[in-house]
Each structure stands twice: as C-alpha cells, then as structure tokens.
Structure 1
Amino acid sequence: MSEQSLKPFVKWAGGKRQLLGEILERIPHTFENYIEPFLGGGAVLFALQPKRALINDINASLIHTYKTIASEPQEFIVKIKELDSRISEGGKEYYYLIRDLYNSKLMREEFDLELAAIFIFLNKHCFNGLYRVNAKGLFNVPYNNSKKDSIDEEVILEVSKYLKNITICLGDFEDACKSAKEGDFIFLDSPYAPLNPSSFESYTKEGFDMESHVRLSKLFDNLTQKGCYCMLTNHNTEFINDLYGNKGYKMDVVSVKRMINSDASKRTGEEIIICNY
C-alpha cells in the first residue's frame, strides 16, 4: 500500500500527523504485537502498518466507524456520497439537520451504516474537526462552512483492506492492554493533560480527568515491568513530568502547533515523548 492511500480518514483533536517524524524516529526496531489504546485518527497506526495490531478507543461512534469501513467499505462510500451531494445546496441548514439526525440516532443507540457515514460527514464539516458533546452526550460542534467531499474513496478502500486483519476494540485503555506481553509495542496517545485549570481538554462525555492520567502512568509502569516497549505522548506540563520523571524513562520535548485553539497566537506549544526503552 502506498503512503498516499493509507492515511487517516478522520480529523481528530490531538492527532499525531504533524508529530509523526519524531514518533517514527523512536519506534522500537523490532516488536511483536502493536497495541494502541487511544486510537483517534490513527496516524501512527497507518504510518506503521503493523501486521499484528489491536486498536482501541472509548468513543463508540469512532470505533463503530472503523468497524464499518473494515466490513462495508463500498456501502459506506455510497452513503457518504448521498450526504455530500446535498451540502452544496443546503449548506448550514443541511449540516444542522444532519447533526440532529446523528444525535437522535445516538439517543436510540442506532449504530448502523448511516451513523458511521454521518459521523465522518460531521467530522469533515464541523469546526476544526472537533468532536465535542454536551452533558447529555450530544454532538454540538458548529458548521465550518465547508462544502468539500467528506472522503477520498481510495483511502477508504485501502484502509478497509488493512483493517480487516486488525483487532478493533471499544473500551477503557487498561482493558485494551490486558493481553500485552513482553516484546509488544504500546503507543499511548491519551487525551491531553490540561495546560492550566481553565483548559478544555475533554472531547467526549467520558472525559479524561487527572485521576485517569495517574491511572495511565501506573499502567505505563506495569507494562514496563512486563517487558513491553511503551511510548507515550502528551503536553509537556509539570504534572506529566511529575508522573513519569525520575523513573529512568527517556523524555524528549518537541515543539508543536496547536490547531484547535481559537486564538492563533496560542497555537504553538511543547509536547513530550516518553519511552521506556
């Protein structure tokens, strides 16, 4: 598969496409199985294309979409084209109509082909590709005024071929790592730790609070003791440094651009890449 045809089909907050070079430089030379508990857009997965992989996320709509593309790529493409065909005329009004339909399907737990297609349609036509829900778990991101196509058909078809042989799971990050054993490589790209108390970093109704970060650091330690190769990325904050510092882990700080911040002057920052090897 070419690098051009196997790439993320969804835009995701905290996605690692711009950090790929730094991440790929630090990948273990050899490993057994690949495990990614916080999948998101899957930039690292698609760049590595491991033959044996388990991918996971806690966002039910996201994982449902991955599974749908793996099993029904042609039907998915047809449904997406139906949605896209009306955005040029309907614009804003049509977007909010589809957003309401998506939320009604979420409320009824209708995880079908249509929901997967709508999920991607909204992702490509909402502000900054942000997945944000209200207290009721309903998607509430506004329209971005785009009338572009939601997908690249070749990307969907190639991704589908690859995903057919991959284990796709929905659930907590600890559960995703239960099968991890010595020699496996685990890439941990959790939701960001807040840069300050007022930072908004929760993109799903489940959230990812400070206690979750502490639980993740303990998992990192446990996987290290098992003999797994672990890499973790996050904001370079005092909190993250306190969790992982003084344990012998390799900790590299790199500069990044923040694409979600509404203030363009604040769209730069530092991330930290932590490895136990």
Structure 2
Amino acid sequence: MKNLNVAPFVKWAGGKRQLLSKIKERMPEQYNDYYEPFVGGGAVVLELQPENAVINDINKSLINAYTQIANNPDEFLDAVNMLDNEMWDDGKEYYYSIREHYNDKLMREEFDIELAALFVFINKHCFNGLYRVNGKGLFNVPYNKSRKASVDKKAIVETSKYLRSINIINGDFENACRNAQAGDFVFIDSPYAPLKPTSFESYTKEGFDVESHRRLANLFDELSERGCYCMLTNHNTEFINELYGNKGYSIDVVSVKRMINSDASNRVGEEVIIYNY
C-alpha cells in the first residue's frame, strides 16, 4: 500500500515529477527488484515505493542526506529547523553564510547530520534547486530569495520510514547495477546530454562527459542482455539517439517544461524515454 506522505525532500534539476505519468504508463507490469543508479531527487522511487530497491548517486552530499533522513529523522529535523529559525532579516547574507559553512564541511568531508541539514537548506534556498560545483568541488549556486521552510515534518518522518527499508549506496552507476538480474527493473535518469554538444557541464566535480554517456549506453546494452527491464530518460538529442538507436529499443519523444532556463521562451523542450521491452 503506497504511503501518500512519502515525497522528495529536495528539488533537483532534471527531476522527473512532471514525467511521472508518462514513465508509469511505460513501466513493465511486473518486475522483481528495483534499481535507480542516478536517484537525484528521488521522484520516481518515492512515487513507486518498491519493496526491494537499490538507489545510488555519485553525489556524496545527496546520499548523506538520504542516509541521515533514513536513520536519524528527528535529529535531522531539529538541525534543519534550527537553520530555518535562525534566518536573519537579510536572507541573502544568511544564505551565503550557510553556503560557506556547507562548503567548509564539504572540504573536511564531514558527512554528518549537520551537513545533511545544510544541504537541504541550501537546496531549498538556491536558484532552481540546481546542484553545481566549481573546479574545487565547492557549491556555488546563488540565493533564490526564498524564505520558506526547508522541509515538511510529516513528509520527512514518513519518507524516513520508507528509506530505512531499502538499500542506499554512493558510487559509480555501473557498480550500483552489478547485482541486477533478469526480471529486475532499472530506471536510469543520468545527468543530461547537453542540447549543444560543446557545452557538457559539471554535475559533480568529476563531471559526466561524453565517455560517461557511452559507458552508460554500454551498461544499458549489458543489462538488456541480462534480461533486466531498463528505462532511460534524457534530452532528445542527436547524440543520445546515436547511442541508443538502431538497437531495437523503443524511443518515445515527450514534451517537457525546462524550468532551469532563464529565458521563458526556451522552457519547452523534448526528452526521450528509452526502454528495452
């Protein structure tokens, strides 16, 4: 029985909330275990709430937040509420002080409850929920002028219960799928290929480059050979169609709103949903 109070606790660029209905109508009717090697904001897994699931992301801060919310929801809520309650009259100044504190802890690799609270706070108060770091790995997204509460207590408590029942890991996408077997469902929402081939942007300081997309396409082929049900979403670009076309996969083009674009006239685009069944 799905818990309607379970919900994503961060905004995430390229998140799948607006595509949920299109994704669900294309899913296999039955599957065994669920794998999501690029969980991001978790819109899909937290909507489906599969009993046996493995979620992964390369972003250590993001996975730390999932882990802390799963294991220490009360302490997490106390920490994030303290950040909300202490916001000064000058929200911009406060945000940048919190961002600096977050980056200091990040450089010291202090992946704890406080870092999780700082991560969620800056996610809710930065521009469009974008996670972007500079060459040194420091978070550098500007303030969005919001003074709203960072979390919903009931959602955190209920989401924590679900997250405790699944496997949360941090690492490379290939490693996350190493145990996927025939009959398992693998949902792949990787960092997007750029609309302009010359503008691959960094998601973590390691980035997700052309070679990473080629490696992912090879994994999709390998998982298909294992008998896994695989679904992948990405921008509808020539590069992505070259990687996945002419292999017998279904490739459906769907319209999306791109809220990350500063020019409202460019906020409508196309994505592809690729699946092997």
Taking structure 2 as the reference length, the TM-score comes to 0.98
Higher deviation after alignment, 66-75 or 88-97:
88-97
For residues 154 and 88 of structure 1, the distance between their equivalents in structure 2, rounded to whole angstroms, comes to 26
Counterparts of 1:260 and 1:203, CA distance in 2? 14
C-alpha change, 1:127 and 1:178, in structure 2 (3 Å) is same
Per-residue deviation, 1:80: 0.6
Match of 1:190 in 2: 190
Instruction: Quote the residue 2:168 is aligned against.
Output: 168
Deviation at 1:4, TM superposition (A): 4.1
Distance 2:105 2:159 in 1: 25
Using the TM superposition, give the Cα deviation of residue 18 of structure 1 relative to its aligned residue in structure 2, in angstroms: 0.4
Segments of 4+ in structure 1 off by > 6 A?
A: none
Q: CA deviation at 1:201?
A: 3.7
List gaps (5 residues or longer) in structure 1.
none
Letter aligned with residue 202 of structure 1: S
For the Cα contact (< 8 Å) 1:214–1:243, is it kept in 2? yes
What residue in structure 2 maps to residue 58 of structure 1?
58
AA aligned to 2:245 is: G
Q: Paired residue for 1:80? A: 80
Specify the code of the residue in structure 2 equivalent to 1:221: D
Larger CA deviation: 124-133 vs 79-88: 79-88
- CA displacement, residues 217-261 of structure 1 (integer Å, 9 cap, x when unaligned): 000000000000000000001111111111110110000000111
Instruction: Give the secondary-structure state (helix, strand or coil) at the position aligned to 2:89.
Output: helix
Q: Deviations over 1:141-168 (max 9, x none)?
A: 1111110000001110010000111100
Q: 2:261 is matched with which residue?
A: 261
Cα distance between partner residues in 1 of 2:97 and 2:159? 29
Residue 203, structure 1, aligned to residue 214, structure 2: no
Match of 2:36 in 1: 36
What is residue 143 of structure 2 aligned with on the other side? 143
User: Aligned partners of 2:4, 2:148: CA distance in 1, in Å?
Assistant: 19
Give the Å deviation of 1:189. 0.4
1:237 match: 237
2:18 aligns to what SS in structure 1? Answer: coil
CA 1:135–1:80: 2 relative to 1, 3 Å: same
SS in 1 for 2:92: helix
Distance 1:83 1:116, change over 3 A: same
Check conservation: 2:200, 2:209, Cα contact below 8 A. Answer: no
Conserved? CA contact 2:133–2:202, under 8 Å: no
Q: % of aligned pairs identical?
A: 68
Contact between 2:88 and 2:94, CA under 8 Å: does it hold in 1? no
Q: How many residues were matched structurally?
A: 277
Structure 2 counterpart of 1:6: 6
Give the distance between the partners of 1:176 and 1:211, measured in 2 at CA.
18
Q: Displacement of 1:198 after TM fit?
A: 4.6
Report how far residue 197 of structure 1 moved. Answer: 3.2
Q: CA deviation at 1:112?
A: 1.0
The CA deviation at 1:88 is 5.1
Q: Deviations over 1:5-59 (max 9, x none)?
A: 1111100011000010100101111111000000000000011100000000000
| Alignment partner, residue 226 of structure 1 | 226
